[in-house]
Structure 1
């Protein structure tokens, strides 16, 4: 409706000073405050901007120190047949009261929430568990954003496609491929996969998974879905496991040689005598240990990069038995991630030459007094791979095999 505003007044509104005035008036209107009277103390005008506003209010006002009063603006606008509010709305568009906006947002959120609950119940999710999951899962889009219901439709579709407990199970990637057109759509790093897994855990009273792992697999199994257990693997040397599980047999038959263990092979019951177990990142360490020490090498696990679910489960299982774990990785940001992954599964694990003094020893001329490894890595910005420390690591393994202390 700017056509109903005189051109000269429109040009005035476009100037910096008047534009700032319109912004403050609009905010007052949204808050339900007067737009025709009152002092505009929130407006801070420069000298140039005051001169611009003075084109409407007059030179006398512009040169004075008088504050900007809405009644003065309203008086001049009446000459053009406009109120202050009318001018703001015609130039900037209709104004909604903030209280009305909030009320509308609440009503929209309530409507969306009710529709989401109804959708889940229609898909077969019990009301109480659906309500709990909707209230507690922080991965869901914010209510009122218009995106939550679309996500719920996707979750409900997966829920309906799952065979359920007691039926012939299907594999997770198969379900995702057939019903979503993407075999990886329900992976542990995908939001939809996380949402459905946590819904399954809520319905069946299980631990809610935060990542791939045992809790993740149990949640999917509760609704008749099998997770891939052969892609996830970890390298092991001289693990002395006992029990009837496949992993125990594999370890007994491969003493002296590094052996890839899959998540599938770690199924079932296995145990070990509590003792020291070393954990590294790179296969070169495991190969060199096998070449140098063979069957005499102390138990050694290699994550081969970022710790897989198999690696985390194995380390966590050994920690639960009471094994004394010594862990390390490359000195870089990824190495810190790996070590933190392992510490989450084995909080009592000790660093194996993975500390600030060891890292700084590679920079004899560096001047830093930091004691935190992350800070040292950031400060110096240089990666030190495990292979650089290979002889030191082998020395530690030999010392342990000989019954001597190691670092």
Structure 2
């Protein structure tokens, strides 16, 4: 709980701090990486640094946490903290790194805001930071314990046993653990980090949803090649597409992710766009494998049938469920509904629980339509990779 004295100061200074958080974050990362370049090796995403995604994620999380503390002083924003904690454990963040971040972050705040950062203001925001850091450290410790990892050491070696070309820009890798050591179970909808060495010798991590697994210990990731344009070219996805072959070894984290399919009896609506269908495919595998009898509505949007990775699989798994139906939308039409996903004439089951994955603009629009159709906001769960600016409005 934030002290009354600090709460008053944070409330008064949040507009000023919030307005310059992006500048503060840029100064923070620039100084930290200049003095601690080893942090770029296997912890921070260089693509997100280049695009500004990482700065926006940091700024958004701090502002959201401070705002939540002020709005509900007696409640901890568990949804926000859980999502961040899962992202952190997926890349192996450790307790001592919060001390490093604190040093450079507060140095950046002082540089950007200058004389406005009085000792009282610094102390108040310091309290916010350590409330957030302390809560995250506790949650992350529990997640590491559940994953059988200590000190952030979640990494295991897996061997590629099959490569499948799904579309021109999407391929799947089926993986088997190299050692006989038990691996933590994965829940449908979770993701893993893949750690690779780039040609310049620097390690990079990327998160990929588990698009399927099996009782024989196999797991599958489905990787879309990011070609660049409006965003930097995906260096990890490009490397995997160019080089990953049967027999190769990859380093994977334990599965993480706070959005996973829960057992129950309520109808399900599974919504995705583009490569966002990967966690949905894992959920469909689970439902079909357990013989689930709930009503299931599968909704997917894509550019075209040719671009729809895992389409045949989604159709087959939906057909295997006794009370399931599917509707696909393609921008180029074809054998599906034409254009963007539109729920105006789609019957959403009463009392449905929704799981979504796709771009933030897509999910923001569909979420509004689902609420309009009567779905309770608390029953809409979504997964976002990258800078989650929508969090806090959900």
Instruction: Give the TM interval when normalised to the shorter protein.
Output: under 0.3
Give the structure-2-normalised TM-score. 0.24
Greater fraction of residues in helix = 1
TM-score computed with the length of structure 1 as normaliser: 0.23
Larger radius of gyration: 1
Q: Name which structure has the greater RCO, CA cutoff 8 Å, separation 6+.
A: 2
